[in-house]
Amino acid sequence: MSLIQIEEVSKVYGFGDATTVALDEVSLEIEKGEFIAVMGPSGSGKTTLMNILGLLDRPTHGVYKLNGKDVARLAKIKQAKTRRDQVGFIFQSFNLLPRLTVIENVALPLAYKHVSQTRRLKAAAQALEQVGLKDREYYLPTQLSGGQLQRAAIARALVNAPSIIIADEPTGNLDSVSARVVMELLSEIHKMGNTVLMVTHNPSLTRYASRILYMLDGNIVYDEATAIGEMPSRVQKAVNALRKSDDDEKLANVSAMMETMPDPSEPKEKKIEKKKKKPRKTKKTKRGKK
Ligand SMILES: Nc1ncnc2c1ncn2[C@@H]1O[C@H](COP(=O)(O)OP(=O)(O)O)[C@@H](O)[C@H]1O
Ligand SMILES: [Mg+2]
């Protein structure tokens, strides 16, 4: 049984003429222990997918099974409970509460459980030790650097021993040195057997992943397993292109690179199972929904 299984999941925002199809019948299976890097240009549906997988949001259509259990249409309160028990989130903006100390922030996911305060703080201290912040337990978030804040956020995501850790552009607000520390941590967490889903704009970070997804216009257009520590040649080329281009060109380059999509019949590229062949071009065509 897969840890995560979604089938033809769509997410439509808005009503009438002003609708956006953020996810367009996406199917995906994720096994326990994978480290998935999700790439794709802004607006391609990465955050929407993460929010649905992390039970922060629910699909408009489709099936979502987490640990074999149908969770797509849980009542709000059950959804929140499942999220607290099974998902750890790491955001680009860290999202620590400014008035709580670091250790209180990290203990927060346990506040909803029937766990004594002593045990909560003990678990939080352990998680902080794991991310190398033991000596910052009683600091306030404003007293930490960006890299330290993100490590605290990682400790918070771990404190519950969740089934999935979701990191949406976790290094987006960090300098390259802090980003590296955060990535090494995520990598360690992965090696301990955790399942990590990470959105990133930085192709070189895909080297930490065991599988790379690339999204475009609400679809997964590329899905490839990779050896950890390596980048598929296509991604490597994108990195090289990135080195010699300015920001605006960056994503265009990466997109263009990934759009020279693998032929689905090539044996090495796997797993894009769509019930009907989709046109390769990226422009969305209007499709009637049943
Ligand atoms: N709450 C929302 N309301 C309306 N449209 C949204 C909302 N969230 C996302 N979208 C739209 O859905 C599409 C996918 O967005 P998102 O998942 O945030 O993409 P990404 O994370 O890849 O940048 C975009 O067109 C975005 O404008
Ligand atoms: Mg996003």
Kindly report, residue by residue over 93-146, the tens digit of the pLDDT: 999 999 999 999 999 999 888 889 999 999 999 999 999 999 999 999 999 999
Indicate if ligand 1 lies below 6 Å from the C-beta of 86. Answer: no
pLDDT attached to residue 244: 57
11 and 59 in contact (C-beta within 8 Å)? yes
pLDDT digits (tens, 9 = 90+) for 131-190: 999 999 999 999 999 999 999 999 999 999 999 999 999 999 999 999 999 999 999 999
Strands 69-70 and 61-66: antiparallel
Q: Which domains does the chain have, with CATH numbers?
A: 32-60+87-259 (3.40.50.300)
Q: How far is the CA of 48 from the centre of ligand 1 (A)?
A: 6
Which residue's alpha carbon is at the smallest distance from atom 3 of ligand 1? 13
Indicate if ligand 1 lies below 6 Å from the C-beta of 171. Answer: no
pLDDT digits (tens, 9 = 90+) for 26-46: 999 999 999 999 999 999 999
Indicate if ligand 1 lies below 6 Å from the C-beta of 45. Answer: yes
Confidence of residue 258 (pLDDT cuts 50, 70, 90): low
Q: How far is the CA of 134 from the centre of ligand 2 (A)?
A: 31
Which residue's alpha carbon is at the smallest distance from atom 12 of ligand 1? 22
Average pLDDT score over the chain: 86
Q: What is the pTM of this model?
A: 0.84
Q: How far is the CA of 80 from the centre of ligand 2 (A)?
A: 21
Indicate if ligand 1 lies below 6 Å from the C-beta of 22. Answer: yes
Confidence of residue 251 (pLDDT cuts 50, 70, 90): low
Indicate if ligand 1 lies below 6 Å from the C-beta of 10. Answer: no
